[in-house]
Amino acid sequence: MISNGHNSGNGPLKGIRVLDMTVWQFGPMSAAMMGDMGADVIKIEALDGDAGRGLWRASTLNMDLGEGRNAYFEACNRNKRGIAVNLKTAEGQRIIHKLVEDADVFVQNYRQGVAERLGVGYETLSKINPMLVYGSGNGYGPNGPDSHLPSFDGCGQARAGLMMSATTPGAEYPTRISQGVSDQMGAIMLCLGVLSALVCRSQQGIGQKVEASHLSANMWLQGLGISMSLLNEGRSFSSYDREAPTNPLSNLYKCKDGRCIQLMHLQPDPYWRPLARVMGMDDIVDDPRFTDMRARAEHAVDLVRIMDDKFATKTADEWDAIFREFEVDFIYAKVQAIEELEHDVQVVANDYISEFDHPVLGDVKMCNHPNKYSETPAGIWREAPELGQHTEQILIDELGYDWDGIKDLQDAGAIL
C-alpha cells in the first residue's frame, strides 16, 4: 500500500522550500505540517541529531519501533529530507547560508540566542535572503525577563492556564492533558504564522520573522474564554461542574457500560421535549422546574440526578442507536479513547488516519493532515529521515559540491 493515494507533489505548498532547524515536537510538527502540504522540507540537525530521536518512552507508550526507528521522531518529522551539519564550524554555516539563498522559509525552536550563536539568526539570514520567512518557536515569547528560559509541553500547559481549565473542581492537583497538546498547539500556531507571512510576502513583497510561543499558543487555544473573562472585569472562568451545570442538556452522562455521552445542546429549549420523550422522562416534561433553560439552570442538580439514572439504564451504544433512530437530530457524541479513533466511521471515511508504506517499518498508520484541500491534497508521503540521510544528495545535487568537497567538509567536522 503506498501512502494515502494523494499526489505528494501537488499539495498547496508545492514549490515552497522549508529549512527546518527544529527539535523535539513544537518546531518539528510545524514543519511536518508544511511537509504534509507539499513543501520541500529539509530538516537540519546537529551531528548528534535532534534529541527527540532519543525519546524512548512517552507516558506508558514505548517509542522504540525497532530498526533504529522511533515513533515520536517518525511522527514529528514525516515528509522531510534530512541533513546533518555542524553549525559550530564556518564550513557548516556556509552550507546553511547557501541553502538559505533559495529557501522560502527557515524555522527553528531553540532557546533565545542559540540560532544567533550558530550564525542562523534572523538578522544574518535575512541579509542573505531578504524575502525569507523566518519562523521561531519559544517558551514564553520573544520579550520579557523569561524569554530566554527553556520550556516543554507541561510548562506551556501550566503557565498558560490550560491545566487549570482542564481540572475538575475540587481536584487535589491540576490536570495535565496528555498527547503533547501544548507543543502541538505551538506547532499549529507557528505553522499558521509562517503561512500568513508567506501570503504577506507574495502580496507585499517582504520577508519577515514570525514568532510563536508555548505561552501565546496555549493562551490562544483558550482565547475565547480568556477574552470573555477579561470582558467580565477579569473574573475567572470557573471550571465546568458536571453535577451542577448551567445547562444539563449540555453535560456529560455515564451509561450502563461505564461509557460516557456528551450532550451538547447549546440552545436546549427545542430539544427538551424530544429528549425527555426519547429518554422516557415523560413524567417530568411539563415539570415547571425543567420547562425552560433558566428553570433547568436553577434546578440543574435535580435534573442531572434524574438524567444520570436514565443514562445508567442502557449502554452508550444503545443510547446512540435510540438517539439516531429518533426524528430529531440530537447533538451529542460518545466519548472515545485514542485507540478507538482508527475504527470511527468518520475517521475512516475522511482519511483522518492514513496508512503509509514505510520503507523500513512496512505499512504504518498515522494521524493525517487535518485539512482537506479540494484541488491540492495534503498527506503523508515520506518517512522521517535518518540522521544525515540526505546530506550528500543535497550538497551534490543542490549546492554543487563534489566528492572532494564533501571529504573536506567531513575532515573539517562540518558533516558526518
Ligand X SMILES: CC(C)(COP(=O)(O)OP(=O)(O)OC[C@H]1O[C@@H](n2cnc3c(N)ncnc32)[C@H](O)[C@@H]1OP(=O)(O)O)[C@@H](O)C(=O)NCCC(=O)NCCS
Chain positions 125 to 144 lying near ligand X, rule: CB under 6 A, are 137-139
23 binds ligand X (CB under 6 A): yes
x/- map, 270-309, ligand X, by CB under 6 A: ----------------------------------------
365 binds ligand X (CB under 6 A): no
Q: Please say which residue, 144 or 150, places its beta carbon nearer to ligand X.
A: 150
x/- map, 142-161, ligand X, by CB under 6 A: --------xxx---------
Q: How many CB atoms lie within 10 A of CB 138?
A: 27
CA-based nearest residue to 360, from 84, 73, 19: 73
Question: Is the distance from CB of 294 to CB of 219 less than 8 angstroms?
Answer: no
Distance CA(157)–CA(167), nearest Å, equals 12
Smallest separation (angstroms) from ligand X to the CB of 326: 45
Smallest separation (angstroms) from ligand X to the CB of 356: 23
Distance CA(401)–CA(403), nearest Å, equals 7
Distance CA(364)–CA(355), nearest Å, equals 6
CA-based nearest residue to 150, from 178, 181, 107, 113: 113
Q: Please say which residue, 24 or 253, places its beta carbon nearer to ligand X.
A: 24
Smallest separation (angstroms) from ligand X to the CB of 144: 14
Distance CA(359)–CA(280), nearest Å, equals 55
Distance CA(260)–CA(189), nearest Å, equals 31
Smallest separation (angstroms) from ligand X to the CB of 392: 17
Question: Is the distance from CB of 381 to CB of 6 less than 8 angstroms?
Answer: yes
Distance CA(39)–CA(264), nearest Å, equals 38
Question: Is the distance from CB of 115 to CB of 211 less than 8 angstroms?
Answer: no
Distance CA(384)–CA(41), nearest Å, equals 11
Q: Please say which residue, 49 or 268, places its beta carbon nearer to ligand X.
A: 49
Chain positions 29 to 88 lying near ligand X, rule: CB under 6 A, are 46, 85-88
Chain positions 106 to 125 lying near ligand X, rule: CB under 6 A, are 109-111, 114, 117-118
Q: Please say which residue, 11 or 27, places its beta carbon nearer to ligand X.
A: 27
Smallest separation (angstroms) from ligand X to the CB of 70: 14
177 binds ligand X (CB under 6 A): no
Residues near ligand X (CB under 6 A) are 23-27, 46, 85-88, 109-111, 114, 117-118, 137-139, 150-152, 183
